[in-house]
Amino acid sequence: MNRIYLSLSQQSGFEIEFVEKALQSNWITSGGPNVDDFELELESYLGEYSFVTALNSGTSAIHLSLILLGVQQGDEIICQSLTFSASANPILYEGATPVFIDSESETWNICPNNLEIAIIDRIKKGKKPKAIIAVHLYGMPYNVDKIHAIADRYEIPIIEDSAEALGSSYKGKKCGAFGEFGVLSFNGNKIITTSSGGVLVSNSKALKQKAIFYATQSKDDAIHYQHSKIGYNYRMSNICAGIGLGQIKILKEKIESRRNNHLFYRELFSTVEEAELFETKNEDYFSNYWLNTILLKSSKAKNDLLQAFERENIETRPIWKPMHMQPIFERYPYYGDKVAEKIFENGLCLPSGSNLTEADKIRIVNVVRTFFN
Ligand SMILES: *Cc1c(COP(=O)(O)O)cnc(C)c1O
């Protein structure tokens, strides 16, 4: 039996055209016509005032957003704890201090109450946080209204980690376009892929030009090689952008398939009392359902179900382990209770790729039915 994976890349068939064009015109380098076109496509997708800089990863985009906000050694950066480590690692690249925040149970994302408690406490301790990294985890938008109202009140910029949320929206506006900076990822397992890649979304042309400047080794305006800032080799390759141009042609279909997977799981778990499918709570939220997740009643039930799937060669995985529980991050401040910890202990990610077949779904149904009977 073939293995069913959590989330695999899926080709449209158009990728080869754009890659071939790059090869034939000898644009085999970072930057180039495919990169420009890919940025334009995303700018029109995300909506007005979205300026997109294509980079070699989502992680690079988070790093550059910190640099563009002027983050320096010793600064404090607030970050959602329940996320993938790539949200938080760039804080350490800059020698800054992460301050982790628990999740709220409605969205699993950064908790507004704990966010405000943390801001007030950090200010009282003498340092106002320089930025907030908020994540739309598994495609579920965070509570944009509440989080941005708090950020505005204390005048702290938001970096919106939308790596998993291309196609998600909140009150009709696309995720990735809310923050001072937005981040998308095109890693192989995300909604669309460029093999490896990401973009930084900003709200001005000047910021986009600055991002390109840093991403291409910070070359000053001179005939010789002159540098007055630390530079990075973060620009997206023209070959990768070609793959992205082919992928974006079926973005709508891909999101539709993911959302159909969600409907499949909703039906499947509607009669299973021991598992709660994670879903949007009201009409304000529109999730791409990048990954479908469930909460079991205990950590043991989660592990047993994971093993049951594994025996049928079906990949499932625990939820991201919160950053404040990670050996590399556990010594940094944390504000919250045990919401993220509980989600981590009892939660499981289910196969959710846009290429999940009907035959795959039957195998998944069989495991679930047998396990809970
Ligand atoms: C994938 C991911 C990233 C990093 O993106 P890369 O393109 O893999 O560097 C950052 N944050 C979250 C939440 C992610 O899932």
Asked, colleague to colleague, whether 15-248 and 251-372 share their fold, the answer is no
Active site residue 190: yes
Predicted local distance difference test score (pLDDT) of residue 48 = 86
Tell me, using a 6 A CB cutoff, whether residue 198 lines ligand 1: yes
Q: Which atom of ligand 1 is nearest to the CA of 197?
A: 7
* CATH fold for the domain made of 251-372: Aspartate Aminotransferase, domain 1 (3.90.1150)
Predicted local distance difference test score (pLDDT) of residue 220 = 95
Q: Using DSSP bridges, classify how beta strands 97-101 and 76-80 pair: parallel, antiparallel or unpaired.
A: parallel
Dmax over CA atoms of the chain, in Å, equals 73
Angle at 108 between CA 360 and CA 308, to 5 degrees: 35
Predicted local distance difference test score (pLDDT) of residue 52 = 98
pLDDT digit string, tens, across residues 28-85: 999 999 999 999 999 999 998 899 999 999 999 999 999 999 999 999 999 999 999 9
State the Cα–Cα distance between residues 195 and 189, nearest whole angstrom: 9
Task: Using most ligand atoms within 8 A of CB, pick from 6, 161, 185 the residue to mutate for ligand 1.
Answer: 185
State the Cα–Cα distance between residues 309 and 69, nearest whole angstrom: 44
State the Cα–Cα distance between residues 255 and 289, nearest whole angstrom: 8
Other beta carbons within 10 angstroms of residue 127's beta carbon come to 13
State the Cα–Cα distance between residues 371 and 373, nearest whole angstrom: 6
Predicted local distance difference test score (pLDDT) of residue 253 = 97
CA distances from 251 to 3, 11, 28 (A): 25, 11, 25
Q: What is the DSSP letter of 320?
A: P
Domain ranges of the chain: 15-248, 251-372
Residues of the chain with pLDDT under 70: none
CATH of domain 15-248: 3.40.640.10
Catalytic residue chosen out of the listed positions 128, 146, 173, 190: 190
